[in-house]
Amino acid sequence: MTETFEQYILPEEKLEKEVTGAMGDLTDEEIEKEYEKELEEFRPGNIVEGEVVGVFGDEVAINIRYKSEGFVPLIEFNNLEEYKPGNKVHVYIVMMEGPNGSVVLSKKKADLAFGWKRILDKHDVGDVTVGKAIRKIKGGLLVDIGVPVFMPASQIDIRRRPDIASYIGEDLECKIIKIDEEQKNIVVSRRRLIEEQREEAKKELLADLEKGQIRKGVVKNITDFGAFIDLGGIDGLLHITDMSWSRVSHPSEIVALDQEVDVIVLDFELERERISLGLKQKTPNPWEGILKKYPEDSLVTGEVVNILPYGAFVKLEDGVEGLVHISEMSWTKRVKHPSEMVEIGDRVNVMVLSIDEEKQEISLGMKQTENNPWEVVKEKYPPGTVLKGKVRNLTSYGAFIEVEEGVDGLLHVSDMSWKKKVAHPKEMVRKGDMVEVKVLEVDQDKKRVSLGMKQLEDNPWESEIPEKYQEGTVIEGVIAKLTGFGAFVELEKNLEGLLHISEVAEQRIENISDVLEEGERVNVKILELNSEERRLRLSLRGIENPLIEDRIQALGDLPLASEEPSEEKEAAEVQEEEPAEKTEEDKTEEAEEKAEETKEAPAAEKPEEGASEEDAGDKPDQEASEGEPAEEEKPAEAEDEEAEKEKKSEDNDAS
């Protein structure tokens, strides 16, 4: 830098001559005034005009008519032409003496000051101007309208973009809403300008709006229930149900943000400024003439488009779907969920069962496209038929036996043995066993087959047991079980008789366990045999049983036993017929069965507008076919309590 300025150094004599020539005829007083004037002009913070001398490194030398040149950083110039030697330029005096003893200048600050002056001279609050968004700052954008001004994020648009940085580089028309001259701060709003413009456009639109009009609009917002369309001054709602005659899961499948669309005006309320719009109404309704296109009982092919717990929706054509209820999927299989039968995208053959044109609902059936196996079951398996089948499932009241693929029959506990009191089917069979059974009854309407195991043999109560156990006969037996009202005595395998407590001795016995023990052998007399009810009543009175007699004698003097009231004996007989005490597992099963019997599914109707298909209930409960019930799960056959009651009336096996 020193070497650069050496070329401008003059000899002392020449310098004196040059100074004298420059002063001319000025007096000392005039020179003093000129000096003070110069000091006033060249102060930090002032803006002066200078002339570009040249570029020195990363600085530009400027002659500002001061005792020494000033320097401006080269970076503050926009292009080469601006710092061309000889160019006039306004600069801001930062300091009179910098680190190198030279004047520090700034072109940028001078430009900013001149820019502020021009803006303040030209604009006022409320004026509209255009500026370019130059960068994102805290709380909003910096916009260049000649000088950088602030646009708050809330004032950028009516609907806020996720990232306001997307506006950078755009020219934004905005309105000046605040000017602070002292702080040199200007706040602008694009939103306020848009709102004013929309208000004017809205008045014009509402004055000209009519139902059925087709209007151009722009998608401004998308929600789960629809899309809001800017019609120019006011937004209208395009509901998801008015987008397409076909199924629409989400509005984004049909429209996108900022997309231009033609919509039809469905309805509007001027007072509330609400407008309902439609897209699908621009095309014919596919439900018109639906009864002619799809008459009842006609066979059609469709695509599975949705699966819900109560059924599957099948698309017959664009905008036309029908419901295959879960009960209409199979004649024989117990379908727990539609996904066991179909998947989304499957092409399926269905039969049209019914059409509600007003509600735009179609009921379809899959099983109706196949032969109903129950139509031939009665012919193939008439009562008396003996067959072998696999035990598919056990419940507390019986076992389900596979008659053929898809057709199960019920083997009730009361039809398992003539002699044995069966409390649970697992006492006789196990799941997976192959068993031989006889067909007792086929109910085609209710899709039930009743089976029996004991019917494979002759009924021993008709001749064998009456001949062997005649009234008055004394026979040896084993105490099988003690109860509060007496004891059950096993006379032979699977054959028991009731020894009532009043028939143990001539004396009144209060506690049966005082005189009898389970497993001991006793001699008993046949008191009564009822073949019709399959019941044997026994007595120890007058029968020699030394051990029992000793126990009774050890009890001391006991009053004589009076004849038990008939009601008490009848109650004892009823208790005799009850099955063995239920386990917790049996109680749980019974509770589930009761719940199934009383459960009634709601009707599978189309959801209300705005509701999802999940809100639609199930189809009214129908007789389910005997299919593949899960382990310990109540099958469809058990839904009719009457059948079980009939069986229970036969389950009086006290022997």
537 — phi, psi (to 5°)?
-110, 135
CA 81 vs CA 54, 55, 88, 461: distances in Å: 12, 12, 11, 127
Asked if the structure places residue 500 within a domain, the reply is yes
What tokens appear for 151 in the block?
């646009």
Neighbours of 321 (CB within 10 A): 24
User: For the chain, what's the residue count?
Assistant: 655
| 12 and 93 inside one domain | yes
The mean pLDDT value for 10-39 works out to 61
End position of a domain, from candidates 369, 390, 422: 369
Question: How far, in Å, CA of 334 to CA of 635, rounded?
Answer: 8
**What percentage of the chain exceeds 70 in pLDDT?**
79
What tokens appear for 39 in the block?
């000091």
Chain-centroid distance, C-alpha 16: 97
Q: Give residue 628's pLDDT band: very low, low, confident or very high (50, 70, 90).
A: very low
pLDDT value at 323 more than 90: yes
Question: How far, in Å, CA of 32 to CA of 38, rounded?
Answer: 10
Q: Give residue 351's pLDDT band: very low, low, confident or very high (50, 70, 90).
A: very high
| 354 and 386 inside one domain | no
Highest mean pLDDT among 18-27, 49-58, 382-391, 455-464: 382-391
Question: How far, in Å, CA of 430 to CA of 453, rounded?
Answer: 14
pLDDT value at 20 more than 70: no
Neighbours of 413 (CB within 10 A): 24
| 39 and 81 inside one domain | yes
Q: Give residue 607's pLDDT band: very low, low, confident or very high (50, 70, 90).
A: very low
Asked if the structure places residue 539 within a domain, the reply is yes
| 54 and 17 inside one domain | yes
**What percentage of the chain exceeds 90 in pLDDT?**
15
End position of a domain, from candidates 305, 334, 369: 369
pTM, whole model, 2 decimals? 0.42
pLDDT value at 205 more than 60: yes
Q: Is-contact 478 521, C-beta < 8 A?
A: yes
Q: Is-contact 73 110, C-beta < 8 A?
A: no
pLDDT for residue 301 = 93
The mean pLDDT value for 245-272 works out to 87
The mean pLDDT value for 182-198 works out to 83
Highest mean pLDDT among 298-302, 329-333, 512-516: 298-302
* Secondary structure class of 126 (helix, strand, coil): coil
Residue 619, amino acid: K
The mean pLDDT value for 242-248 works out to 85
Asked if the structure places residue 592 within a domain, the reply is no
Nearest C-alpha neighbor of 626 from the set 323, 375, 392: 392
Q: Give residue 420's pLDDT band: very low, low, confident or very high (50, 70, 90).
A: confident
Asked if the structure places residue 570 within a domain, the reply is no
| 450 and 490 inside one domain | no
| 268 and 295 inside one domain | no
Question: How far, in Å, CA of 107 to CA of 49, rounded?
Answer: 10
Which is more confidently placed, 294 or 447?
294
Nearest C-alpha neighbor of 451 from the set 579, 315, 643, 185: 643
101 — phi, psi (to 5°)?
85, 0
| 51 and 109 inside one domain | yes
Which is more confidently placed, 190 or 7?
190
Q: Give residue 613's pLDDT band: very low, low, confident or very high (50, 70, 90).
A: very low
Highest mean pLDDT among 85-99, 496-510, 596-610: 496-510
Question: How far, in Å, CA of 97 to CA of 517, rounded?
Answer: 125
pLDDT for residue 566 = 46
pLDDT value at 54 more than 70: yes
Nearest C-alpha neighbor of 578 from the set 411, 421, 399, 416: 421
Q: Which residues contact 249 (CB under 8 A, 6 or more apart)?
A: none
11 — phi, psi (to 5°)?
-60, 155
Q: Which residues pair with 137 in a beta bridge?
A: 140
pLDDT value at 119 more than 80: no
Cα maximum dimension of the chain: 171
CATH number for the domain spanning 262: value is 2.40.50.140
| 403 and 338 inside one domain | no
pLDDT value at 338 more than 60: yes
The mean pLDDT value for 309-335 works out to 89
Q: Give residue 331's pLDDT band: very low, low, confident or very high (50, 70, 90).
A: confident
Asked if the structure places residue 383 within a domain, the reply is yes
| 186 and 216 inside one domain | no
Which is more confidently placed, 168 or 594?
168
Highest mean pLDDT among 38-52, 71-85, 608-622: 71-85
pLDDT for residue 578 = 45
| 14 and 109 inside one domain | yes
Q: Where are the beta strands (DSSP E) in 223-367?
A: 226-230, 235-239, 260-269, 274-278, 299-308, 311-317, 320-325, 347-356, 361-365
CA angle 15, 16, 17 (to 5 degrees): 90
pLDDT for residue 350 = 93
Question: How far, in Å, CA of 585 to CA of 544, rounded?
Answer: 43
pLDDT value at 312 more than 90: yes
Say which DSSP state 338 is in: G
- Our count of domains for the chain comes to 6
End position of a domain, from candidates 516, 533, 564: 564
Per residue in 496-529, pLDDT (tens digit) is: 888 898 888 888 888 888 888 888 998 888 888 8
pLDDT for residue 582 = 45
Which is more confidently placed, 208 or 350?
350
pLDDT value at 380 more than 90: no
| 228 and 246 inside one domain | yes
Range of the domain at 536: 466-564
Mean pLDDT of the chain: 77
Neighbours of 365 (CB within 10 A): 19
Highest mean pLDDT among 108-122, 173-187, 581-595: 173-187
pLDDT for residue 22 = 59
The mean pLDDT value for 529-539 works out to 85
pLDDT value at 303 more than 80: yes
Asked if the structure places residue 649 within a domain, the reply is no
Residue 115, amino acid: G
Asked if the structure places residue 579 within a domain, the reply is no
* Secondary structure class of 298 (helix, strand, coil): coil
The mean pLDDT value for 47-70 works out to 80
pLDDT for residue 14 = 65
pLDDT for residue 3 = 53
pLDDT for residue 226 = 92
pLDDT for residue 621 = 36
What tokens appear for 34 in the block?
């000129």
Asked if the structure places residue 594 within a domain, the reply is no
| 394 and 436 inside one domain | yes
